[in-house]
Structure 1
Amino acid sequence: MKYRRLGSSGLSVSEIAFGNWITHGAQLDNTTAHACVRAALEAGITTFDTADVYSDTMAEIVLGQALKEVRRESIELCTKVFHPTGSGPNDRGLSRKHIMEACHASLNRLQTDYIDVYYAHRYDATVSLEETFLAFADLVRQGKILYVGISEWTAPQIRQAAALARELRVPLAASQPQYSMLWRVIEGEVVPACEQEGIGQVVWSPLAQGILSGKYKPDHAVPQGSRASTAAGAPFFDKLAGQWLRPEVLVAVAKLATLANEAGLTLPQLAIAWVLQKPQVSAAIIGASKPEQVEENVKAAGIRLDLELMRQIDIILDGLVERDPGKTG
């Protein structure tokens, strides 16, 4: 495993982070979930990502249990706030009340005293940014969160947040956007804004919800057991990756698999290494439904792809990549 600084902050994170969206508390039994976490730890992963809303708060509980015996200082534990976790009018968003209550609830579920990076899971247009960042500032002063992050915010929103963070002395260190060979909407505006503000990218879905795993074949039915076929995963797959289940995309992905094989890599390793090749990326989040997936995908850490290979990837995907910055969030 290799480690990188999170933006311009002093926090080091593992190049590959372990995330448990959809899997823990939903797709996997706890025994398998814990085995995946152990595999991540054994592979050198120190950065673990979750959110209060994942699996209706169960993902935090399962991750907290899995990491209970791990020395707290040896890992970076990250979670998020914004989406509803209850039915009350204040059980959502980025109000001071919800941030404070959600943070304390996450700390309890994760069985920890502090969160390394606490993300605003989405932008809340109904609450002033000042109120949101004053709440974050108080949590930082109390030692309950160490760094602040944002997820799927636009470049103007990020610049406004960074200005407030400087004023309030809040370490805004991370952006968590979707990013992959196929989904590059952050490159035009978000990445330049974050580079200017010293914010690192911790990207999710580097395999485009499994499309870049190679499991989906042209003219073949969706494989059983895949995210697209499960009750827990299908709604998210349809929303985020259903657009890629087109013959021309799947044919291109098959060509990428051949390219990966020629480079001595699996297609998932190539996809993750491609993301990590980008200098603005601090870490790429992977998920897993079995320990073997963790063990295989972490091999992408430290791999350097030559310029010719990067050029061939762009040629194969020409005309298929989504780049519209308006689709952020």
Structure 2
Amino acid sequence: MKYRTLGASGLKVSALSYGSWVTFGDQVDTERAAECMQVAYDHGVNFFDNAEAYSDGQSERMMGEIIRENGWDRTDLVVSTKIFWGGEGPNDRGLSRKHVVEGTTAALERLQMDYVDLVFCHRPDLETPIEETVRAMSYLVDNGYAFYWGTSEWSAQQIRHAHEVARREHLVPPTMEQPQYNMLHRERVEREYA
């Protein structure tokens, strides 16, 4: 497996990651999920991606249980989660400081981990001031919930704004963006981010 440096960090992630969006929970049972993760791990995958919204948290529970049961050394893994769609309550979604901190805490409990390596803002939140979101994400890093934070499906302008806020307020800036990028969805990455 080849490993690449993640963004402007020193963190090495496998060129391929194992994501659980359409695999864990409703689609795949724990036994099959464990088999899939083991194959990925055996072939050098160290980056395992998740989100609070995947199967309403069941995906994180399954992944955490599989990692624990397999006895994999946590220091060998890069585990991520994404925060935005946590539940139905008025403060159970979005990127307010309340939901960012409580959503990440709940994800850690489901994963049975003390920290995640990466935490993503799963989508931009147009109802929450970017200053509040950047401050909340910086808090996660400063307090050991995560080592790095980033964005998912944010525009280049939104990412630039987050960096400006972090620089101005002396906060931790985002390290990475997780865009949709495949044969059918190439334009944003190739035009907007280039």
TM-score by length of 1: 0.56
Cα contact 2:51–2:82 (8 A) shared by 1: yes
**C-alpha distance after superposition, 1:219-274 (max 9, x if no partner):** xxxxxxxxxxxxxxxxxxxxxxxxxxxxxxxxxxxxxxxxxxxxxxxxxxxxxxxx
Query: What does residue 159 of structure 1 align with?
Result: 160
Whether contact under 8 Å (2:83, 2:120) holds in the other structure is: yes
Question: Structure 1 segments of 4 or more deviating over 4 A?
Answer: none
Secondary structure (helix, strand or coil) at the match of 2:141 reads: helix
RMSD after superposition = 1.1
> Which residue of the partner structure matches residue 105 of structure 2?
104
Per the alignment, residue 180 of structure 1 pairs with 182
1:80 counterpart letter in structure 2: K
* Letter aligned with residue 128 of structure 1: P
Distance 2:142 2:117 in 1: 13
1:37-76 alignment runs, 5 A limit: 37-68=37-68, 69-76=71-78
Compare CA radii of gyration and give the structure with the larger one: 1
CA distance in 1, matches of 2:143, 2:135: 12
Structure-2 separation of matches of 1:111 and 1:171 = 27
- Contiguous gaps of at least 5 residues in structure 2: none
Distance 1:171 1:154 in 2: 15
Structure 1 unmatched runs, 5+: 193-329
- Give, in angstroms, the shift of residue 165 of structure 1: 2.8
The code of the aligned residue for 1:81 comes to I
Is residue 2:129 matched to residue 1:128?
yes
Is residue 2:36 matched to residue 1:33? no
1:141 deviation in Å? 1.0
More RCO (CA 8 Å, sep 6+): 1
From the superposition, tell whether residues 115 and 171 of structure 1 become closer, same or farther in structure 2 (CA, over 3 Å): farther
> In the alignment, what sits opposite 2:17?
17
1:77 to 76, 79, 85: 79
Instruction: Give the aligned partner of residue 2 of structure 1.
Output: 2
Aligned-pair identity (%): 46
Deviation, structure 1 residue 150: 0.3
Alpha-carbon distance, 1:142 to partner = 0.7
Secondary structure of 1:188's aligned partner: helix
* 1:139 CA displacement: 1.2
* In structure 2, distance between residues paired with 1:137 and 1:22: 29
Post-superposition shift, 1:182? 2.5
The letter for the 2-side match of 1:42 is D
Residue-by-residue CA offset, 1:176-202 (whole Å, 9 max, x unaligned): 11111221122111x23xxxxxxxxxx
